[in-house]
Amino acid sequence: MRNPLIKRLPRELKADAGKYLVLFIFIAGMISIISGFLVAGTSMSASYDESFEKYNIEDGNFELAWEADEGLLTELEKEAVTVYKNFYVEEETKEIDSTLRVFINREEVNKVCLMEGEMPESAAEIAIDRLYASNNGIGVGDTLTVGNTSFTVSGTVALSDYSCLYQSTSDMIFDATLFGVAVVTEEGFEALGDAHLHYSYSWKYDKAPAGDAQAKEMAEAFLEVLAQKAIVMNFIPRYVNQAIVFAGNDIGRDGVFVMILLYIVMAIIAFVFAITTNNTIAKEAAVIGTLRASGYTKGELVVHYLTMPMLVTLLSALVGNVLGYTVMEDFASGMYYNSYCLPTYVVLWNASAFVKTTVVPLIIMFFINLLILVKKLQLSPLRFIRRDLSTKKKKKAFRLNTGIKIMTRFRLRVIFQNMPNYITIIVGMFFANTIMLFGSGMEPLMDHYQEEITSNMISEYQYLLKVPAETQTENAEKFSAQGMKTIEGRLRSEDITVYGIVQDSLYIDLDVSGNKVYISNAYAEKHGIEEGDTFTIKESYGDTEYSFKVEGIYYYPAGLAVFMEDTYFKEVFDVEEESFTGYFSNEEITDIDKVYIASEITEEDLTKTSRQMKLSMGGMMFIFQAFGIVMFMLIIYLLSKIIIEKNAQSISMTKILGYSSGEINSLYIRTTTVVVIASLLLTLPVVNFLMEYIMFMAFSEYAGFLPYYVPMKVFVENILLGIGAYAVIAFFQTRRVKKVPMDMALKNVE
């Protein structure tokens, strides 16, 4: 016989159509976003993994001071590697303010994926990175002047060894606007000249390493041999080459993050469903008691009350997945393509994503509601008929001080009677605040970081030279510099620069006499080093370690740095007395031939992190902020609605006793208002503390240091946004209070 309770489901759906529609839209929208990111991420990740073999991506690259002869290459290949010449020229562009790294079109190693147009066929043509072209508004057929040579853009490409446009491994983040890569023909490469030619070589192992640990051992062994035979200017094994590995690692991290987000939200929504069902059981207690007395089992009633939450979740998940594979997949892939220079990919069916976005949410919804229903329905039929649903017997109500005003005591009673609802509001508020702060706080954080860097630059220009060269530029100050590595421990090893500066420097206000050593605040804060501590760093391309005692902390947020007197620097690193590395200057140096300049560091180089992060994460930040406020409104609306429905009989009685709608609103709506605003204010400091920890852990994997900062105006904006959203909800709830009929109290007299 068909269960008659099934006939009640359409009536329940119609009675609470608004609630179920809101929950359906929210869950479906959330799952569509998560599904879209998982599908796009998995498809792109698969394409990325295949690219290593498809495009024969290098196992590492190194740069020499001079071109290697055939004898050296033959000697190196005895180490079970194949070495490929991969020279590049790095020049400024004329039409836009950027630096372009130009290679000869590669056909053996680090092959190129054509995205649009054609590969260059003549000396006058160039194919540039797709993302660099997009960010700078360059199209196929445009003219681009690189150095002193003009090219016509024949197409856009993705270079397999530059899925992220990192100009240097020491960069905190890539820069796809002011830095780009490109390929030309051999004739086009020769036309660029050799003023900024870099003798770069790629290598591939004859037998690929089994993992990063073995890759590290093999790279160190190869470097030891290489350093004995040539002057090594740069050495980057693939496993630490951010230009190659960052995109793959980041796409993987995104999948974990969005899944955690989904499961936390689903748990909160499941509790909202459970509280809603709990309220329904309270209203239908007499009917449930009668059904139980008539022979219906607890299991049948549990199944009945589980049906609607499970149906809504299932339908939402299915619709969300359909949207995820269509609309949201394009959106998610677009966000990835706005950040990374990835090759083309094919959308793959992702069974794991379907399980994570459909099966797991259903399991969460099922078990949370099941536990609460089983506990609620364990009472006897007689107690349901009597509406005696309390699981904890109390002889009398919780005593309140009679000195408290009657209206205040009434509001306190409302809070105590609806404690589970208010606790859920607080938890939901905490999570919504976290999402909103993440969304609204990132741009001010980036702006503050950029402002701190630009206002605390050592000088307007830093020039690093290939060989010492003199200048007549006024106030240009010589310095020595050495690239080193931090010691791997709590955090991974990363690049750090040691500066040798003159005493009474015009640009760095430090007393470096007497072999005193200072470190930048970025190094101190990231690695937990304090004044008086001893720290150790090591050679970038060797095993020699150096330990120093910290004399003090110098405020230099742009990077990890160590400062000491130039004479002491030369003594420690065994550098010739007359040697120097570069110049600090507030004026552009124009009397040194560019052939002798290895690199030039300006404000634009130091602020690339903030620019790129705002470009990459702008769309995502808006989604987080919107998602947070929608979740906030959803939870407040549903739970405040339940509170009014639960107290409908009391509201009806107060109307009979002559209380006005305004007075009744002050008892119920104002009580919820106080809880909402209090939780909004009280959870923000906790959220801020949590965000500071999350940001530190997240950015500890990046090179450099990004200090946490959220201005007070962001907190004020979030509070005002929350209050404004609640005001809309409160307006609709006051209308609900007005609709409670006075005869309800008389009809339900017990």
Same domain for 12 and 78, yes or no, is no
Which residue matches tokens 């006793």? 657
Banded pLDDT at 620 (limits 50, 70, 90): low
Same domain for 105 and 11, yes or no, is no
**pTM of the full predicted structure?**
0.67
In a domain, 594, yes or no: yes
CA distance readout (Å), 223 to 170, 484, 529, 542, 694:
19, 15, 30, 8, 36
Boundary of a domain, candidates 600, 635, 657: 600
In a domain, 513, yes or no: yes
Q: Which of 353, 347, 348, 350 is nearest to 317 (CA)?
A: 353
DSSP state letter for 170:
T
Same domain for 43 and 67, yes or no, is no
In a domain, 358, yes or no: yes
Q: What is the mean pLDDT of residues 554-565?
A: 91
Residue 499's H or E segment, with its range, is strand 495-501
Give the chain's radius of gyration (CA, Å): 33
Same domain for 385 and 482, yes or no, is no
pLDDT over 80 at 287, yes or no: yes
Same domain for 69 and 153, yes or no, is yes
User: Which residues lie across from 465 on neighbouring strands?
Assistant: 597
pLDDT over 90 at 166, yes or no: no
Sign of the CA dihedral with 459 first, then 462, 468, and 473 last: negative
pLDDT over 90 at 593, yes or no: no
In a domain, 747, yes or no: no
Same domain for 86 and 202, yes or no, is yes
Boundary of a domain, candidates 389, 414, 439: 389
Question: Greater confidence, 180 or 696?
Answer: 180
Highest mean pLDDT among 189-198, 442-451, 663-672, 698-707: 189-198
DSSP state letter for 503:
T
pLDDT digits (tens, 9 = 90+) for 266-283: 888 888 788 778 778 877
Contact 92, 192 (CB under 8 A): no
287: helix, strand or coil: helix
159: helix, strand or coil: strand
In a domain, 455, yes or no: no
Banded pLDDT at 632 (limits 50, 70, 90): confident
Predicted pLDDT at 65: 86
Same domain for 72 and 174, yes or no, is yes
Predicted pLDDT at 605: 65
pLDDT digits (tens, 9 = 90+) for 318-353: 999 888 888 888 887 777 787 788 887 778 777 888
Mean pLDDT of the chain: 83
Predicted pLDDT at 619: 58
Q: Find all residues with CB under 8 Å of 500, minimum gap 6, and list them.
A: 479, 480, 481, 482, 564, 565, 566, 567, 568, 569, 570, 575, 581
Same domain for 83 and 6, yes or no, is no
pLDDT over 60 at 293, yes or no: yes
Contact 222, 230 (CB under 8 A): no
Give the CB-side neighbour count of residue 464, counting CA atoms within 13 A. Answer: 11
pLDDT over 70 at 572, yes or no: yes
Same domain for 9 and 49, yes or no, is yes
| String of DSSP letters for 653-720 | HHHHTT--HHHHHHHHHHHHHHHHHHHHHHHHHHHHHHHHHHHHHHHTTSSS-------HHHHHHHHH
In a domain, 188, yes or no: yes
| String of DSSP letters for 580-639 | --EEEESS---SS-GGGEEEEE-HHHHTHHHHHHHHHHHHHHHHHHHHHHHHHHHHHHHH
Same domain for 187 and 95, yes or no, is yes
Question: Greater confidence, 140 or 380?
Answer: 140
Same domain for 186 and 99, yes or no, is yes
In a domain, 191, yes or no: yes
Q: Find all residues with CB under 8 Å of 653, minimum gap 6, and list them.
A: 745
pLDDT digits (tens, 9 = 90+) for 379-437: 888 888 877 776 555 545 566 666 777 677 777 777 777 777 778 778 878 877 887 88
Contact 180, 167 (CB under 8 A): no
In a domain, 9, yes or no: yes
CA distance readout (Å), 533 to 501, 529, 547:
22, 6, 10
Predicted pLDDT at 609: 62
Question: Greater confidence, 140 or 2?
Answer: 140
Q: Find all residues with CB under 8 Å of 486, minimum gap 6, and list them.
A: 493, 494, 496, 523, 527, 537, 560
Q: Which of 324, 400, 373, 338 is nearest to 130 (CA)?
A: 338
Question: Greater confidence, 586 or 665?
Answer: 586
pLDDT over 90 at 184, yes or no: yes
Give the CB-side neighbour count of residue 482, counting CA atoms within 13 A. Answer: 26
The answer to which of 157-171, 256-270, 300-314, 490-504 has the lowest mean pLDDT is 256-270
pLDDT over 90 at 109, yes or no: yes
Same domain for 35 and 64, yes or no, is no
Question: Alpha-carbon distance 279 to 612, whole Å?
Answer: 50
What range defines the domain where residue 165 resides? Answer: 60-207
Predicted pLDDT at 395: 47
Question: Greater confidence, 204 or 21?
Answer: 204
Highest mean pLDDT among 22-36, 390-404, 440-454, 598-612: 22-36
pLDDT digits (tens, 9 = 90+) for 21-50: 888 888 888 888 888 888 888 888 888 888
Contact 467, 301 (CB under 8 A): no
Query: How many domains does the chain fold into?
Result: 3
Q: Give the pairing type, strands 197-205 and 81-85.
A: antiparallel
The answer to which of 235-244, 250-259, 454-463, 623-632 has the lowest mean pLDDT is 250-259
Q: Which of 464, 569, 488, 564 is nearest to 519 (CA)?
A: 564
Boundary of a domain, candidates 369, 389, 409: 389
SS (H, E, C) 11-51: HHHHHCHHHHHHHHHHHHHHHHHHHHHHHHHHHHHHHHHHH
